[in-house]
Amino acid sequence: MNQSTDGLTRFSPSFKMVKKNNRIEIPSTLDFLPGVDEFIEKKLKKLKVKKDQIADIAISVSEAVTNAVVHGNKNDINKKVKISIKVSPSEVEITVEDEGGGFDPSGVASCLENENLLKHAGRGILILKSLMDKVEYFCEPDQGTKVKMVKYIK
């Protein structure tokens, strides 16, 4: 990774976004988040998913990928985040996987409790559950975390 004179981060060619059919893999940096958003939105528009549903899915994917990069992989550029999308006539399923140490969603304090209301972090789980119809976490210690999100579209 190099810092250019214009202040933008430049990555070596090995740090790139890889798109394959309905999967995308990125290095653990938020610099690739706009590319993930574009990939997901393009797939959903092609399938004629409603605009409000595309917005819910895009926000949820953005949040899940951010959590995977920051909390799961700890911004380690050498670790990957994998995103996949499956679409059926009735639903869209998105999976986001990191290579971090795993995480227990039940151990996250509710952002709705008085002592947590003004904290800047801790709202991701609530956002996903609010915008998606189904959210599941699969976690194994030192095996990363997989978040599966489903949005019913018909």
Q: What is the pLDDT along the chain (154 residues), one digit of tens a residue?
A: 444 444 445 555 567 889 898 999 999 999 999 999 999 999 999 888 999 999 999 999 999 999 999 989 999 999 999 999 999 999 999 999 999 987 766 655 554 555 544 445 556 778 888 899 999 999 877 789 999 999 999 7
> In sequence order, what are the residues at sequence separation of 6 or more whose Cβ sits closer than 8 angstroms to the Cβ of residue 132?
56, 57, 60, 149, 150, 151
Q: Tell whether pTM > 0.85.
A: no
Please answer whether residues 122 and 104 qualify as being in contact, where contact means their C-beta atoms are separated by less than 8 angstroms: no
Listed residue (45, 60, 127) closest to 95, CA to CA: 60
What structural domains and CATH numbers belong to the chain?
Answer: 16-152 (3.30.565.10)
d(CA 120, CA 135): 22
Specify the pLDDT at position 118: 46
